[in-house]
Amino acid sequence: MNKIVLQLDELSCPSCLQKIQHALAKQAGVTNVKVLFNAAKVKADFDSDEISADKLADTVSNLGYDVQSVKVK
């Protein structure tokens, strides 16, 4: 299992948090999605055999959020 942290430009409302969590949680290979509203960060565990970090970042970008940085552990 890998861990990803996406730093976003900003989150403007609590419904943004739910929108991102839902979109990532339904991706194959993704578990433990947590969105930190005040820090504008998204953290998740993912199986790199099932989904790439780039695909996760693209999923968030396609929802209309500006991903500032991606860190994978």
Domain limits, the chain: 2-72
Positive or negative torsion for Cα 11, 33, 46, 20: negative
Beta-carbon neighbour count of residue 31 at 10 Å?
12
As a three-state string, the secondary structure of 16-34 is HHHHHHHHHHCCCCEEEEE
CB-count burial class (<10 Å; 0-12, 13-18, 19+) for 44: buried
Q: What is the pLDDT of residues 4-45, one digit of tens each?
A: 999 999 888 889 899 999 999 999 999 999 999 999 999 999
- pLDDT tier at 54, thresholds 50, 70, 90: very high
In this prediction the pTM is: 0.93
Instruction: Look up residue 36 and give its two tokens.
Output: 């930190």
What is the mean predicted confidence (pLDDT) over 47-70? 97
Q: For the domain bounded by 2-72, which CATH number is listed?
A: 3.30.70.100
